Structure 1
Amino acid sequence: MTRTTDASESAAAHGFPHLFSPITVGTMRLRNRVMLPPHASAIGNIYGTDEDATRNIAYFEQRVRNDGVAWVASLSTHVKNHLIPGFEPTGVGAATLGFFRLPFFVERVQQFSDALHAHGATVSVQMVHQGGMPHGASHTMSAPTINLMPHVMNQTDIDAFVREYAESARLAMQGRADGIELHLNHDDLHEWFLSPLTNHRTDRYGGSLENQCRFAVQTMRAIREVIGTSMTLGIRLNIREEVPGGYDVPGGVELAQYFEATGLIDYVHGVVGSPWGNPSYIQPTYFDPAQFAGLAAELTKGISLPVVHTGRINGPEVAERVLSSGSADIVGMARAHIADGELLLKAREGRLTDIRPCVGGNECISRRYVEGLAFGCAVNPGAGHEVAGPWARPSTSRRLLVVGGGPAGMELAALTSEAGLEVELWEAEDELGGQLRYAPMAPRHEMYGEYLTWQRRRLEGLGVKVTLGRRATAGDVRAVSADVVAVATGAGPRTPAIQGVEAEHVHDIRDVLAGRATPGRRVLIVAQDDHVAPLSVADHLASNGHEVTVVYATAQAAPLMGRYIIGGILGRLDDNNVGFHFNEEVVRIDRHTVECRHVYSWKIRRRGEFDSVVLACGSVSDPTLYDELHPDLPRVHILGDAYAPRRLVFATRQARALAEQLVTA
């Protein structure tokens, strides 16, 4: 259907005439140009327990109410796998029964759709089946990081999947969804047929463009035969493939043109990235906002159907730029709405500085799928808790003293002040932010600085009394006679027990990032941190012309970083020739060499030559004040790095948990 361009006067007045203009996509009349692409399985699985589903729906309701997001496409749903008896598919995204075949599938989708329809939003179901689990087009693999050989599909297999997609469409239609999105990308089974990298067939499903698209077109036709014109049907397609041997941008546009020519689809959702690489399809902080919108523009120019583009569109200004340039007709914004569920409301009202910024650290993805922890957003600890509603304000006035103005202390002070407590915050340094102040000093981490600026502005707006440069003693705290005290005194640098670690040419990561220490040209980094810090300082040094080598005792770099983020930084480091040694711990530092001991064989190897050594070895908590207070102060709490050094997401979630206890107790 043709694109519309009418815009509301109020939206135009605040500089977003395209973002808030309506558009029709197939059967769906959208009130604005924002889609929420799939991202909520970790927040609360709509196909899980009743409690999971309720939490999932509450999350989306917050983001669509008040004329919020127009289109929720977050029902990412696996179709039933077809397997021989006893075969067990393995890997991320592997499925057997799938979701469509669950006995309560229709009921759950109805529940989801009805709830969001009540707020004027539209809903679509995405149909997914992972390639190589175990099915594929040929005896090839799609990624250098996955070595599971596929089962090559025959005609019986293909026909079975086509029927399964058709039946899944029937069930989605019964669920009162408005549309269906067929997943043709991100290593999906269909992409394995579309890609010259993974499709080497010589039958009617390989070779020519028509043959490579045949499985997808058969699936689309089967779906359309079920839904007729009652629902919207679109496709999600990689504009290009990242692995050498895959199709390029002209190839992606050609695929979209071919699918449009069938007359079976109503839109194309064009994206960039793989599930494992550089970039991943969930682009982290190492990429510019909407960095690949120019590729979406090539797709938009090549077809007449509406184009959706998703890819680190992290704020309303970025969304407006993508739309006004004609790069896309609709933008997908997931993580930006995790960070702030009222993003569109604030944009429409011109309250841009109130929008909580997404830092692009992908904790919302990594925590769940790498560490097996509950969903958490680093900057918005309330995300996923929408079902609880706002806290009741305390019946009596209480005074809270927060000692420490790092991420945990700042978040606790803000949350409790918003809930009605009288809050005072003391910080020993001359600036709020704690150790997080070092993050924006690393390349591509500017959003952490914007987050700290937002937090400082938030505290000021709430009227929290902040005192900088005050290093509290136990006597100072007792003298204030606050009703509650929270100790968030953070942590200091950790110096490992390595012979020679006190030498002048050995520096701490914080001093290097802050410019207090200037390493020589050849630098060895001792990495004793399982997340991003060692890689960040390596990036900082390599970007400034140093020769960098990183030594890890682990078998890989940053084992707690997920596959959706690790590729971006490792690609940057390899571009700058950063070297790595794994399974080795540094046991001795000499003037120009180090001794490394293999963690399994205990064999000693000498590495060098180096001019400087940088320690990226984490932190040591500072609970001194808490230890002095808690024996005789009844309402004193400890949180953040003062309890145990962890990442930003741990600090803010602890702050929320304590705030809830203080406010509702």
Structure 2
Amino acid sequence: MTHSKYPILFSPLDLGFTTIKNRALMGSMHTGLEELENGFERMAAYFAERARGGVGLIITGGISPNLEGGAGAKLSNDDEVAEHRLVTEAVHGADPEVKICMQILHMGPLARNENPVAPSAVRSRIASHTPRELDAAGIEKQISDIVNCAVCAQKAGYDGVEVIGSAGYLLSTFLVEKTNLRTDEWGGSYENRMRFPLEVMRRIREAVGPNFILIFRIAAMDMLQGGMSWEEIVLLARRMEEIGVNIISTHFTWHESAVPTIATMVPRAAFTQVTGRLKKELTIPLITSNRINMPDVAEAVLARGDADIVSMARPMLADADLVKKAFEGREDEINTCIACNQACLDHTFNGMEVSCLVNPRACHETKLNYEPTTAAKKIAVVGAGPAGLAYAEVAARRGHQVTLFDAASEIGGQFNLAKRIPGKEEFYETIRYFNKMIEKRKIDLRLNKKATADMLADGGFDKVVVATGISPRMPDIEGIDHPKAVSYIDVIKGLKPVGRKVAIMGAGGIGFDVAEKITHAGKSSALDVDIFAKEWGIDFENHPRGGVTGVEPIVARADREVTLLQRKTTPVGRGLGKTTGWTHRITLARRGVKMINGVEYLKIDDQGLHLRINDQYEILDVDTVIICAGQLPLRDLFDQLVELGIEADLVGGAYEAMELDAKRAINQASYLAAAV
């Protein structure tokens, strides 16, 4: 029966020997569980929950075929096969129709170990070591090990494997001239450079037989100057089809590329048109990916003919039931991925366990559960920012009677500031989700209501949770009350005018957001693929080698001179997220924002902002000084409750307000509410 709203998304895909029940794929993400002592039990719970959530196909995080190919989990022997069987049995037990494929990831020159290998001794700018050039015997070993890994995956009960041939990992480094300097049969002409990935896939197909899903992940646009040409990509994909690959999965970058592809500033489904172009050249199905976070976006991609399968990786961290909710018409209940990367990719690249800012249960399904309460309490939550909303939702879900107070006229707290920053429009989705949860969980929401200690004392509450957030810290310098000095909150909300010459005191996340807002001109590039492409030098139309034009990106900017200042002596922006911080630094630099560290603030007066930089006295001639100098926890209410002898918990910014941290706030609130 055809689904009325998403007919293509919920149509089966026939591969001949097997059928994928729908076109929704949970794409590969490394979780950090792979290397833990009880990691496979936790992975089993994590993947099984997504299988129950309605997805048609799952691809695991990358598993190395040998020690030199990675830094953690590998699959090469029977003991490791037994561990992986925990995962496949859990998934097939949750839903026998769901297919799960294991990604084989040989990191090549990016391997986090002392002995990385590559076709040539060319060090990546993001790698720790120069790789060792493989000799003929070394190449044969790597091929054999990858094939053995695929055979082990088949023994472990996987329905197939995906081999990653993109991103700057081993297979892709054979394909590109800048990383393959060889002059033997594995280098030189493109025919020779293709040989390694083709030989890998040909031998895997030979070893596993015809009835095993074989996916090759191709760099359909690698975003590298001197990367692969469109003709080379098409030729490689066609050869893969000829040797028996069932599905081509398109990937859109190397990790060292200076083009964002997955940050929240990237428009939804920005790159699917590239997959659509490749689809016209092949007869086997194609997977597309990147910033497809809601079912209507997925259906539109499929309807355009851009792909046969849509990969939604991080969106299924954010909501394990995304596909099920879409099928049942409950889209407004989807906890949407906002592409912040703070708890997923930033954790991965810092060697930490992965989770999700909007869903702390992700990858923690065996540790954090919201069991129905056996003793319902009447709970007051004061503050409807991220921490208060998370606490109220979890407590009410478990059966507690929750009243949620906020002095503002809308829920969201600091998220209401974030959503106003160009490139952060996805925060509207989180506020939409919590509004729906307030209705669904029957939370008594009282807006425009400043809760007092006496009112709470008289309210008959069994428990009070204080999530009152923060107040901006005003530094103790002369002239801080001068008309030129304004708070970041007033600037973001548009309550105070901003002059043409501006100094921003503080270069944390908020300072960068403010700089983004006041230097931005025109439509947000996060909402327009053409503007985004121009800002990052991408040529979707002509697809030059690597997909990037090589010309200076075109960045619209407001007519302002902006200086971003910080007291720390470390480089400005060093503390931003690992996988997104560089994008903000580049964007502001292209808009002419000056960034200065090691600053001592002296005073603000009619002349401007007085500073000491490297023992030199300076005056910045500015019209406006925007104060982004940190936050202080708002704890007055908590202190008053304690004085009255009322039990109260502090969560979120009210608990700790060093840097605004929604990830920590939601995590802390969710664990507390799970235990009450």
Name the residue aligned to 1:400.
379
- Rounded Cα–Cα distance in structure 1 between residues aligned with 2:134 and 2:619: 50
- Rounded Cα–Cα distance in structure 2 between residues aligned with 1:305 and 1:527: 52
Offset, 1:230? 3.5
AA aligned to 1:237 is I
Confirm or deny that 1:199 pairs with 2:150.
no
Superposition map of 1:114-125 within 5 A: 114-118=89-93, 119=95, 120-125=97-102
Confirm or deny that 1:650 pairs with 2:629.
no
Contact 1:142 1:192 in 2 (8 A): no
Q: Deviations over 1:194-241 (max 9, x none)?
A: 112222322222222211111112222232232122322221111112
Q: Which piece of structure 1 moves more, 578-587 or 111-120? A: 578-587
Q: Deviations over 1:287-344 (max 9, x none)?
A: 1111111111111112222111111110111111111111011011111111111111
Residue number among 102, 107, 117 corresponding to 2:82 in the alignment: 107
- Rounded Cα–Cα distance in structure 1 between residues aligned with 2:37 and 2:283: 42
AA aligned to 2:36 is G
AA aligned to 2:250 is G
- Rounded Cα–Cα distance in structure 1 between residues aligned with 2:224 and 2:501: 32
Q: Secondary structure at the match of 2:310?
A: strand
Superposition map of 1:371-520 within 5 A: 374-387=353-366, 391-520=370-499
Offset, 1:484? 0.8
Name the residue aligned to 1:568.
583
Offset, 1:73? 0.7
Superposition map of 1:187-586 within 5 A: 187-261=168-242, 263-281=243-261, 283-366=262-345, 368-369=347-348, 374-387=353-366, 391-529=370-508, 532-544=509-521, 545=558, 546-552=560-566, 553=568, 555-586=570-601
**Identity of matched residues, %:** 28
Contact 1:241 1:248 in 2 (8 A): no
Confirm or deny that 1:637 pairs with 2:619.
no
Q: TM-score, normalised by structure 2?
A: 0.87
CA separation of 1:419/1:605 partners in 2, compared to 1, >3 Å: closer, same or farther? same
Contact 1:286 1:569 in 2 (8 A): no
Residue number among 96, 104, 110 corresponding to 1:127 in the alignment: 104
Offset, 1:631? 4.3
Q: Deviations over 1:10-59 (max 9, x none)?
A: x2x1x1011011113464410001111112523x33x5322x22222112
AA aligned to 2:37 is T
Q: Secondary structure at the match of 1:492?
A: strand
Offset, 1:560? 4.2
AA aligned to 2:7 is P
Superposition map of 1:34-183 within 5 A: 34-42=24-32, 44-45=33-34, 47-50=35-38, 52-65=39-52, 68-82=54-68, 95=70, 99-101=74-76, 104-118=79-93, 119=95, 120-132=97-109, 133=111, 134-143=116-125, 145-146=126-127, 148-183=129-164
Q: Secondary structure at the match of 2:22?
A: coil
Q: Which piece of structure 1 moves more, 542-551 or 557-566? A: 557-566
- Rounded Cα–Cα distance in structure 1 between residues aligned with 2:131 and 2:30: 29
CA separation of 1:296/1:567 partners in 2, compared to 1, >3 Å: closer, same or farther? farther
Q: Which piece of structure 1 moves more, 250-259 or 294-303? A: 250-259
Q: Which piece of structure 1 moves more, 370-379 or 622-631? A: 370-379
Q: Secondary structure at the match of 1:469?
A: coil
AA aligned to 1:70 is G
AA aligned to 2:19 is R
Q: TM-score, normalised by structure 1?
A: 0.89
Q: Deviations over 1:558-585 (max 9, x none)?
A: 4344443224333432332333224445
Confirm or deny that 1:618 pairs with 2:630.
yes
Q: Secondary structure at the match of 2:419?
A: helix
Name the residue aligned to 1:4.
none
Offset, 1:527? 2.2
Cα RMSD (Å): 2.4
- Rounded Cα–Cα distance in structure 2 between residues aligned with 1:585 and 1:99: 50
- Rounded Cα–Cα distance in structure 2 between residues aligned with 1:363 and 1:105: 31
Q: Secondary structure at the match of 1:234?
A: strand
CA separation of 1:406/1:98 partners in 2, compared to 1, >3 Å: closer, same or farther? closer
CA separation of 1:372/1:643 partners in 2, compared to 1, >3 Å: closer, same or farther? farther
- Rounded Cα–Cα distance in structure 1 between residues aligned with 2:323 and 2:107: 33
Q: Which piece of structure 1 moves more, 158-167 or 552-561? A: 552-561
CA separation of 1:463/1:523 partners in 2, compared to 1, >3 Å: closer, same or farther? same
- Rounded Cα–Cα distance in structure 2 between residues aligned with 1:370 and 1:591: 46
Offset, 1:393? 2.8
Contact 1:414 1:459 in 2 (8 A): yes
Q: Secondary structure at the match of 2:177?
A: coil
- Rounded Cα–Cα distance in structure 1 between residues aligned with 2:599 and 2:18: 57
Offset, 1:454? 2.1
Confirm or deny that 1:31 pairs with 2:21.
yes
Structure 2, unmatched stretches of 5+, are 522-557
- Rounded Cα–Cα distance in structure 1 between residues aligned with 2:318 and 2:404: 24
Q: Secondary structure at the match of 2:618?
A: strand
- Rounded Cα–Cα distance in structure 1 between residues aligned with 2:356 and 2:73: 27
Q: Secondary structure at the match of 2:103?
A: strand
Contact 1:506 1:612 in 2 (8 A): yes
Q: Deviations over 1:383-439 (max 9, x none)?
A: 234336854433334211111121111221122112111111221222222222111
- Rounded Cα–Cα distance in structure 1 between residues aligned with 2:121 and 2:607: 49
CA separation of 1:266/1:605 partners in 2, compared to 1, >3 Å: closer, same or farther? farther
